[in-house]
Structure 1
Amino acid sequence: MEKNKITRAKVIKSIFSLILIIGLFSSTVYAYDVLEEARYLIKNFYIENVSNETLNKTTVKEMVESLNDPYSVYFSNNEYKNFVNSVDMKFSGIGVRFEVISEGVRVVSVLKGSGAEDAGLKEGDIIIEADGKSLVGLSEDKIPLYLRGDEGTTVKVKVKRGSATLDFTITRKLIQTPTVEGEIINNHTAYIKISSFGEDTADKFGSILDDLNKKSPSNYIIDLRDNPGGFLDAALNIAGYFIGNNTVVKVRDRDGDEAEYKGYTHRTKIDKPVIFLTNENSASASEVLTGAIKDYGAAYIIGNRTFGKGLVQTMFSLSDGSYIKLTVLKFFSPKGNEINKVGITPDFNAEYNNSMLVAELLSGDSKDACNKTGFLKVKIDGRYFEIDLKLARQEKYYKAYNLILEKARESGNEIKIGTSLGWTDIPSEYKNKAYFMYYPEYKELQELLNVPVDKKFTVTFSSNVDKSTVEKSIELWDSKTGERIPLSFEFVDSKTVKAIPKNNLKNSGEYYFVVNPTVKGENGAYLKEGTVSYVKVIGN
């Protein structure tokens, strides 16, 4: 038996040479029985010393579970195949993305065409049971074992929806979700979403990057939100597009022995501004890539602190065809920064719903070397960003834009306004006028103070206008929330229109009444400039 055993040194050396963050290395140890095989592996390779009580358990499953490590798991042969397929996002299951919470499993999203959608599951539902088995307290690794299964089979789930408890019978379907997708957004930004680091993710990333680069993007957004990890090799490969063959990650075993992994060398390397998006569900291989990007300053990171899974698991096969996944190493960023239970802090904190919007705004590109009209430039954390004010003015970007302005002020208050001749400082008389950050090139009209809640706004143009362009050009919005107030329009004559809020304004509310220069005259000419008026509603 001793002759056929794999030594600890040989396994560690092999781990340093290859492949997974959640399943680094597969090897078989031959012994008198499966229980002894597992005992040998756990005793010699687990990241911490193991008690005799654990080693003397009567089944492999009990032995692994007694480690109290959510990342060390026993798999039957079929469970192992399902696990590997899940990394590649190929599996048969009910079709939901989920997160583990104290009450069970919260449905983050329901995949289109899935059994879950057919049965009526909704985002926000909490699955508490599957086929009579409580899901409360199970680790993220264990949940799929109860929700996935052979195509065409069914699973009965119990769901909490608000105060109600509902029962569903869901038919499992084959689900194949791409691990990486990309597109050009806002006409100049290459957006790439990496959902998992599967076996073919790096190749797909390279192909998508080549296709997007043909469109000459000005910058890139790499989205790692909700990416739980996957193959280390994929992370190393992708890292090479940003940092070349520099060190991507350091690993350390329980004896303190260390090794480094370097990025792949590619024929192209991204040399334009890059933003990474992370959140609390960005884990494992996602943290390997993000940690390297942050250490080398290769991208600006926006979002939430990452999960903090700085542990490496190795997959060992046993002679009966089953597997155990054991935590065998800790990993660190290239500069040696701790990741486990710490995570990676972004440069710019923003919640999920705002992080992408912040990234889009910070990815503006004025293009023209001289004319910067319609743009704002901010310096944040030593980096310069251009913001397209046409985006910033849109209601959905309101909170994100204010987060940026707040961050810019914290970083030194270097904010420039674009003009036809380049960048200029904000004139002192406008520094305390918030509207100016949205409409610096618009003409400020007289403030409308103490207006009634049922105020009707009358606009008179200097010449006859094309009425079809007026309704889309006049806006009234809440200066505190960015909410657009629905308006109706009554034309008094060809030059004069009344803009009437469909609902009463708020007592003491503050608004901006805006006439955009998209109003067209009957002669075909547009307004020379837009106008903006500050509106203050009378209080109680």
Structure 2
Amino acid sequence: MRTSLKSFMLVFAMLFVFLPQVTFASAEPLDEIRQLVRDYYVDDVPESVLSKGSVKEITKQLDPHSIYMSEKEYQGFINGIEQRIVGIGVVLEEDLKGVKVISVIQGGPAAQAEMQPGDVITNVNGKSIVGKSIQTAISLISGEENTVVTLTINRIGQLAPITKKITREEISLPNVEFEMLGGNIAYIRLNSFALESSREMNKAIQSLSGADGWIVDLRNNGGGYITTAQDVAGFFPNTANAFQLREKNSKPMTYPSTSQPRKFNGPTHVLINEYSASASEMVSAAVKEQKSATLYGQTSYGKGTMQAMYGFDDGSVLKMTTARFYSPGGQSVDKVGVKPDVITKIEAELEVSHHDQLVKKFKGYKKLPELVNVPVSKKFTVEMNTTMNWKNGDKAAVQLIELGGQEVKASIKVVNATTITVVPNKPLVSGSRYLLVVHPLYKNAHNKPMKQGIYLEVSVK
């Protein structure tokens, strides 16, 4: 579920609102677009720009988020926000030998063709993509629905390249993903601010009720609908306001969050990175300013602008920047982004957040020295300074939790009256970090409970 942050997908979502359709039937509604720019573009535009001979020449002089789309391009844009794509269903990253498959979407064409994570695609329809950019590779692999793409794949353990013919299909990606992490910490990932996001998040919160803490993941989330940003802000307690908008020739207006039937009812973290943009930044700025969550990660993208859509009779659409947004208190977002409260290394955001949630939960426990670079087959020895009554201990007394993941099942073996061994039921994951916790649920030989719990951090080589 938690994909690589270096990966790229065919999903592009930016923040916008809908305005009434403009009904003009010309092949390119140049005069109408000139007037729309004069009246509604966030900044004044000189007549020397507006007098240019095509819409493309005009929008080229505006900000990068103001573009003119054909009907087909517009539909692709909306599909991106709603997490609907046409392709083979893989997440890719660059590789020196082509592009590497990081994950395969369950039930998608690639999964049906038995592609695997780690596969390296070297050729698409006979054309080498070695040395090409990820964007070039994606443009070749994607295409029209029900068309076939032929891939040449190198796979570890296979001497000869593998050829697969895969039919492209429309794939609906999950917009909200959630699970309970080890230590009873709830994790919710929001991939886009789509129309159904708030309803899906409400279901996720309901499913995870009883959690001791919450982690909301907005990494790589490029935004979506402005009303959804208001909805999502409403899940955070004490977040009365969602953002402030400043339109052309208008006074700043502060917009409230939408009250939700369920809220995050415990310590809450929000994960962001340099690809968290637009509506993600609205929510992040709001919860940081109103102290309803702690931000983890890296400074966000810095897209503090809002776009409106103007539709024409031929199905084309002008997406144009009509306002800048700020935090509810007026802090700028555009070109500066939102700075997290806790800055982490790239790809370590979830691990660090989960660690801090657990350590806060185990307040009062004694921290033991960290174990560094242990083997994947590591067995842990826990030795007490007094004789223990191990047999009457609670089964939940010892936990081994992968940071950013689940609790690892382990067997507890009694060595002697002062010592037990914790044996994981499966090998640890190389490169991962864990928390080994012994809760004060054991009693000594005199039937007196432990005075305090203990924990230690473990890193696996």
Looking at structure 2, the residues matched to 42 and 160 of structure 1 have their Cα atoms a distance apart, in angstroms, of 50
**Residues 24, 109 of structure 1: CA spacing in aligned structure 2 closer, same or farther, 3 A cutoff?**
farther
Unaligned runs of 5+ in 1: 1-19, 368-374, 378-386, 399-437, 445-461, 467-472, 474-490, 500-513, 518-524, 533-540
Distance in 1 between the 2:241 and 2:326 partners?
11
Matched, 1:289 2:283: yes
Please name the residue that 1:204 is paired with. Answer: 200
Output one character per residue of 1:119-140: Cα deviation in whole Å (capped at 9) or x when no partner. 85867979999999x99899x9
Q: CA deviation at 1:27?
A: 2.5
Q: Secondary structure at the match of 1:34?
A: coil
Q: Does 1:179 align with 2:175?
A: yes
Aligned to 1:423: none
Alignment of 1:250-261 (within 5 A): 250-255=244-249, 257-261=251-255
With over 3 angstroms needed to count, the CA separation of the structure-2 counterparts of 1:85 and 1:143, relative to structure 1, is farther
Instruction: Provide the C-alpha distance between the structure 2 equivalents of 1:313 and 1:230, rounded to a whole number of angstroms.
Output: 10
CA contact (8 A) 1:193 1:222 kept: yes
Distance 2:199 2:325 in 1: 24
Secondary structure of 1:282's counterpart equals coil
- Tell me: higher relative CO, structure 1 or 2? Use CA pairs within 8 A at least 6 residues apart: 2
State the one-letter code of the partner of 1:44: D
More helix by share: 1
Match of 1:333 in 2: 327
8 A contact 2:119–2:153 mirrored in 1: no
Counterparts of 2:123 and 2:214, CA distance in 1: 40
CA distance 1:337–1:245, change in 2 (3 Å): closer
1:258 maps to amino acid = P
2:185 matched residue in structure 1: 189
2:242 counterpart SS class: strand
**Shift, 1:167, TM fit:** 10
| 2:190–2:218 contact (8 Å) kept in structure 1 | yes
- Displacement, 1:278? 1.1
Structure 1 Cα separation of the partners of residues 63 and 70 of structure 2:
18
Structure 2: segments with no counterpart, 5+ residues: 1-13, 156-161, 392-397, 399-414, 422-435, 440-446, 455-461
- The structural deviation recorded for 1:331 is 0.9
From 37, 40, 45, give the equivalent of 1:42: 37
Closer, same or farther: CA 32–302 of 1 in aligned 2, 3 Å = closer
Would you say the 8 A contact 2:121–2:151 is kept in 1? Answer: no
Q: Distance in 2 between matches of 1:220 and 1:159?
A: 40
The letter of the residue matching 2:236 is: F
Look at both structures and tell me which one has the larger radius of gyration over its CA atoms.
1
**How many residues align structurally?**
384
Equivalent residue of 2:309, what SS? strand
Q: Does 1:232 align with 2:232?
A: no
Q: Is the 8 A contact 2:202 2:262 kept in 1?
A: no
**Mapping for residues 24-35 of structure 1, pairs under 5 Å:** 24-30=18-24, 34-35=28-29
Aligned to 1:277: 271
Shift of 1:293: 0.3
The answer on whether the counterparts of 1:198 and 1:234 sit within 8 Å (CA) in structure 2 is yes
Let me know the Cα RMSD of the aligned residues: 5.2
How far did residue 85 of structure 1 move?
Answer: 1.9
Matches for 1:369-384 after TM superposition, within 5 Å = 375-376=362-363
Match of 1:317, as an amino acid? G
Displacement of 1:78: 2.5
SS of aligned partner of 2:222:
coil
Could you tell me the TM-score, scaled by structure 2's length? 0.66
Q: 1:127 to 1:87 in 2, by over 3 A?
A: farther
TM-score using structure 1 length: 0.57
Pairwise CA distance, 1:320: 1.0
| Mapped contact 2:205–2:264 kept (Cα < 8 A) | no
Give the counterpart letter for 1:74 in structure 2. Answer: Y
